[in-house]
Structure 1
Amino acid sequence: MRESKPWLRHYPSEVAPTYEYPKHNLARLLVDSAHQFPERPALYFLGKKLSYRELLHASYQFAHVLMDLGVRPGERVSIMLPNCPSAIIAYFGTLMMGGIVVMTNPLYVERELIHQLSDSEAVVIVTLDLLFDRVQKAKSRTFLRHVIVTSIKDYLPFPKNLLYPIKMKKDGAKLDVTYGDGVYAFKKLLRAASAAPICVDVNADDDIALLQYTGGTTGLSKGVMLTHTNLIANTYQTSNWCYQVQPGGDRFLGAIPCFHVFGLTVLLNQSMYRAGMLILIPKFDIDMILDTIHKLKPTIFPGAPTMYVALINHKRVKEVDISSINVCVSGSAPLPLEVQERFEALTGGRLIEGYGLTEASPVTHANPIWGFRKIMSIGVPFPDTVTKVVDSDSGEEMPIGEIGEIIIKGPQIMKGYWKREQETAKTIKDGWLYTGDMGRMDEDGFFSIVDRKKDLIIAGGFNIYPRDIEEVLYEHPAILEAAVAGVPDEYRGETVKAFIVLREGMTLSEKELDVWCRERLAAYKVPRKVEFRQSLPKTMIGKVLRRQLLEEEVKQ
């Protein structure tokens, strides 16, 4: 087996190549930990703690709320919330009564919201008072029957819960909600509901736990059907990879949103499975992050490269103690080498790059945390996960070191796309997930991603991968952030354009950048166009929106 899976040679002895994954309701992650550690803190939110017993009690209540409203097993419940206790309660409560969770980005505008709610046919939405108007405007064009409204103040400690509405109104926020006619207050519903234990039996391999919509960065957002088995398997795989995590002993910094599948698995599901304390951060604020690390001493900090970039470049980073952080798994975008080295020097912890995609629950690869790793690599496949590099057209496996499309097979691979059989058939063939990402495998079984198949730039007949150029740009001392895309060119078909954000107080001319690149890149890869910007458009998880950059380019 090790001959055909060379990566197994580099597994730490503590990690087995295969595991048994329980076939039960995903909500059992919370139920089991609450029975084992009832008084341990499960959630910390802006000064307020909820124990595992309290979280389980509230989740049971929410399950009964849904049943009292007539929601049936298999119906969809949208959760449109930032990281807050109400989101976690609604998530587990929906799973407990057999509903399907639809995680919905709170930043969605009305058009995006209508698409996701109507496509998923969600019958209930749980949202914030701040977002109520947007939901109400969209409601008539969806299948929604019930709107459940919560507020940040619902789980704030005294006196913050009293001061919050005053401050928000002073800032011009609209918190007024008209209750009745299918609109309910979250806390009021919970208080009136039964807390009798409920966690329905499911067919874990077949029953959908989550409809997670793709980011829509490459076109129309699609619903990815993730089963209870998919998500349990990926939670176990991630936890076994982080084998030094002690049940009931770790603190997870929740800076990435739980409505993103990376945050859902690596943060929420893993912290509940390991009975850790999940520190919920409703919005990424670097000062709040620094203060939280200094005060609460989190040990695990999953994130995106942009988060680590913001932290290591902050003027206060040397004034606070961030040495509690032991493990950081970086996902959603390539991790520049300089960021990794500086972060590890500051914290003394390990920052490793992983890889995944929504269709895989999402994690499929990671570098060993405490073992042999390779810089600028996504690492090796997880236990029970097989990966190949194939020719995109013929499907033939590529030789070691050659670039092709990454395809993956494992227990975390999605059931398919919601109501899109043709799309599913194009993406899953003979059990293999065709990722659309181009990469290579080396002789040790470590994989590297060179870029999205769709992001490939073909200039003058040359295949150019943006990541190759971005790595070089990130090495420049004046550059804070960089993105590369192919823009139309009459002569070359496409040409390379770099979008650059400079460090504060630094300067860089196009000529200086050209010299820097020509010393480090083949001539055909050197950016022919450069645009200096104040910021780059990103998703909430920190992934740069190349498509938006290109759309802006076309409009110019």
Structure 2
Amino acid sequence: MDTPWTTHYEPTVKPSLQYSTEPLISLLDTAVANYPNQVATNFVLKYVLGGRVAIGGSLTYRQLKEAVDRFATALHGLGVRKGDRFAIMLPNTPQFVIGFFAALRLGATVVNINPTYSPRELKHQLADSGAETIFVLSPFYPKVQEILAETPLKRVIVTYVHDVLSFPQSILVRRTQQKDPSWVEITPDRTTLLFSTLLAEYPPAPPKVVIDGHDVALFQYTGGTTGAPKAAMLTHYNILANTSQLLNWMNGLKPGQERVMCAIPFFHVYGMTVGMCFAVAIGAEMIIIPNPRPVDGVLEALHNERATIFPGVPALYIGIINHKDIDKYNLRSIKACISGSAALPMEVQEKFGELTGGRLVEGYGLTEAAPVTHCNPVFGTRKSGSIGVPMPDVEVQILDLETEEPLPIGSEREGELLIRAPQIMKGYWGRDDETAKVLTEDGWLRTGDIVKTDGDGYFYVVDRKKDLIIASGYNIVPREVEEVLFMHPAVLEAAVAGIPDTYRGETVKAFVVLKPDTSATAKEIRDFCKENLAPYKVPTQVEFIEELPKTQVGKVLRRVLVEMEKQKQAEQIQQEAS
């Protein structure tokens, strides 16, 4: 296959790598061997006392390993064995890192669970995965209790935020949290156990478990926007391969000296790989932020903790560059940032670079690929609107949307992106039919994304196949319209969706969030679009909203916008009928 993009790799980037078949726990063991006294987790709690007070705690890699091994010993004593599913329902905390690697030490499979899930969503994921153990933060324990009898769970391990803090912060945080309405006092019983007690009672002496690199390390649920969530089975090899690709891609790393801002949730595959695993792989300090909202907390941490690597999402970077007090913060420690999960306007990349002196580039990935497959060169040529070029050892095909024949790279014709690479998942857990829809017999993953390429081999995501708007027979890609909306000086964020229309079938509606202290009318927005788009692509409706609905990692939920609009239309019809 012709791969013109390798000529645009930076000089230090190898076009092909050798990938380890060791278990994923080897990342931690290697970091401990090389950097035992380097800070591993720097837990930053902001506004805990209702003010600008930094409270937190840190663990060195040696201390982290001891906690991991104590917890693994405890889990084994409770009956957790190789292949068992171990659910983690935690925000970003040191406990997440401890639980993740403790499960891997035993050869168990981690099941990442979003702590904001409703009891209904939680029940589905636990039942589907067959998890018998869950590790949960105390405020979320009532959700588990509510559906406990309807799940396969045999044991619930509860942790408090202060469990990993040293004196006197632990006492201070505990007393503060006890005043909060979300405080839950846990009474241990046969099913419910306390993390702090287990760590105190068990020695750091876990059993030796033989783990193959192709064993499943993680169930990462995906597809919630298109139907019932299903678990992508990611192996130790998949995650290690993607981590190795990222290490190869990032220029000028100093192992044992970097500080990685971990504001993206670890329970999301992006935060897990690009944040946690990447950091451990180079013996970096993880600056752990439990909640990136409001963005003030992230800015405080960047300013005070001097982060050097900052993976994030567009919404986070947009919030930072538009912060009213941005001039009060020193962000010059930042060297490099990779943005994922959504389109990143070039003006955001450039503005962020001006503020920090570092480089912000757009990448691309998906859960089924652990997740990163494409990225703009960090310090090389980045192109506006492009997700960059394939990572080393990532094979690609672009299939014509009508004929499904492969399109030549550089033709600029649009088609569905297929990927074959060492980080591609094993399949969907218990969903052979769904697996067959996306994984071909010869290992190609159908992404469902429509892309095109230029002559240099840079890729551009046109849109999701399912998000195409078909108005009066014309195909309209929301991202193209959104790029124009972002050009308007008053627009902070924008999303475009196809809404039902009796005449056109669907019509284009723009949902716009304005920048602070600016104004615009719907007519002004539409007139601006008319200057930059073909008539059939211009939004027929514009609605100004305070905030776009997003996932935990900042991906705009177009389906929610569409459902909101359908509900409005239904209510209007009902009113007219009455």
TM-score, with normalisation over the residues of structure 2?
A: 0.94
Structure 1 contact 60–198 (Cα < 8 Å) conserved = no
Alignment of 1:399-548 (within 5 A): 399=408, 400-429=411-440, 430-548=442-560
One-letter identity of the residue aligned with 1:24: E
**1:199 CA drift (Å):** 5.6
> 2:439 & 2:363 partners in 1: Cα distance?
22
Alignment of 1:74-473 (within 5 A): 74-196=83-205, 198=207, 200-205=209-214, 207-214=215-222, 216-284=224-292, 285-399=294-408, 400-429=411-440, 430-473=442-485
Counterpart of 2:62 in structure 1 is 53
Aligned CA distance change for structure 1 residues 392 and 225 (closer, same or farther; 3 Å): farther
Structure 1 contact 327–349 (Cα < 8 Å) conserved = yes
**1:49 CA drift (Å):** 1.1
Aligned CA distance change for structure 1 residues 491 and 133 (closer, same or farther; 3 Å): same
One-letter identity of the residue aligned with 2:464: R
One-letter identity of the residue aligned with 1:143: P
For the residue of structure 2 that corresponds to 1:372, the secondary structure is: coil
**1:115 CA drift (Å):** 0.6
> 2:543 & 2:172 partners in 1: Cα distance?
44
Structure 2 contact 88–99 (Cα < 8 Å) conserved = yes
Structure 2 contact 72–206 (Cα < 8 Å) conserved = no
> 1:165 & 1:527 partners in 2: Cα distance?
51
**1:215 CA drift (Å):** 5.2
For the residue of structure 2 that corresponds to 1:266, the secondary structure is: helix
Structure 1 contact 28–199 (Cα < 8 Å) conserved = no
Counterpart of 2:36 in structure 1 is 38
> 2:165 & 2:297 partners in 1: Cα distance?
16
> 2:225 & 2:553 partners in 1: Cα distance?
13
1:152-189 deviation per Cα after TM superposition (whole angstroms, max 9, x unaligned): 11123433322323333433223222211210000110
Structure 1 contact 329–352 (Cα < 8 Å) conserved = yes
**1:198 CA drift (Å):** 5.0
One-letter identity of the residue aligned with 1:33: A
For the residue of structure 2 that corresponds to 1:541, the secondary structure is: coil
One-letter identity of the residue aligned with 2:460: S
Structure 1 contact 537–548 (Cα < 8 Å) conserved = yes
> 2:150 & 2:369 partners in 1: Cα distance?
31
> 1:278 & 1:458 partners in 2: Cα distance?
45
**1:373 CA drift (Å):** 2.1
For the residue of structure 2 that corresponds to 1:257, the secondary structure is: coil
> 1:123 & 1:172 partners in 2: Cα distance?
29
For the residue of structure 2 that corresponds to 1:454, the secondary structure is: helix
**1:197 CA drift (Å):** 5.4
Q: How many residues align?
A: 553
For the residue of structure 1 that corresponds to 2:274, the secondary structure is: helix
**1:291 CA drift (Å):** 1.2
**1:315 CA drift (Å):** 1.3
Aligned CA distance change for structure 1 residues 200 and 243 (closer, same or farther; 3 Å): farther
One-letter identity of the residue aligned with 1:419: G
> 2:25 & 2:325 partners in 1: Cα distance?
40
Counterpart of 2:52 in structure 1 is none
One-letter identity of the residue aligned with 1:541: V
> 1:73 & 1:309 partners in 2: Cα distance?
43
Structure 2 contact 526–542 (Cα < 8 Å) conserved = no
More displaced stretch, 323-332 vs 61-70: 61-70
> 1:420 & 1:36 partners in 2: Cα distance?
41
Of 548, 552, 556, 2:564 maps to 552
Structure 1 contact 367–378 (Cα < 8 Å) conserved = yes
> 2:536 & 2:207 partners in 1: Cα distance?
62
Is the aligned partner of 1:25 residue 2:33? no
One-letter identity of the residue aligned with 1:416: G
One-letter identity of the residue aligned with 2:246: T
> 2:322 & 2:180 partners in 1: Cα distance?
29
One-letter identity of the residue aligned with 1:250: E
For the residue of structure 2 that corresponds to 1:519, the secondary structure is: helix
> 2:187 & 2:345 partners in 1: Cα distance?
48
> 1:200 & 1:14 partners in 2: Cα distance?
36
Q: Give the unaligned 5+ runs of structure 2.
A: 45-55, 569-578
> 1:541 & 1:227 partners in 2: Cα distance?
23
Structure 2 contact 72–106 (Cα < 8 Å) conserved = yes
Structure 1 contact 24–201 (Cα < 8 Å) conserved = no
> 1:389 & 1:150 partners in 2: Cα distance?
47
Structure 2 contact 417–447 (Cα < 8 Å) conserved = yes
**1:33 CA drift (Å):** 0.7
For the residue of structure 2 that corresponds to 1:140, the secondary structure is: helix
> 2:200 & 2:185 partners in 1: Cα distance?
21
Structure 1 contact 478–502 (Cα < 8 Å) conserved = yes
> 2:167 & 2:535 partners in 1: Cα distance?
62
**1:200 CA drift (Å):** 2.7
> 1:176 & 1:402 partners in 2: Cα distance?
59
1:372-405 deviation per Cα after TM superposition (whole angstroms, max 9, x unaligned): 2212100000001011211245431124100000
For the residue of structure 1 that corresponds to 2:495, the secondary structure is: strand
**1:525 CA drift (Å):** 0.6
More displaced stretch, 344-353 vs 157-166: 157-166
For the residue of structure 2 that corresponds to 1:55, the secondary structure is: helix
**1:288 CA drift (Å):** 1.4
> 2:223 & 2:345 partners in 1: Cα distance?
22
One-letter identity of the residue aligned with 2:340: G
Structure 2 contact 73–206 (Cα < 8 Å) conserved = no
CA RMSD of aligned residues (A): 1.2
TM-score, with normalisation over the residues of structure 1?
A: 0.98
Identical-residue share of aligned pairs (%)? 49
1:226-248 deviation per Cα after TM superposition (whole angstroms, max 9, x unaligned): 00110000000011101311110
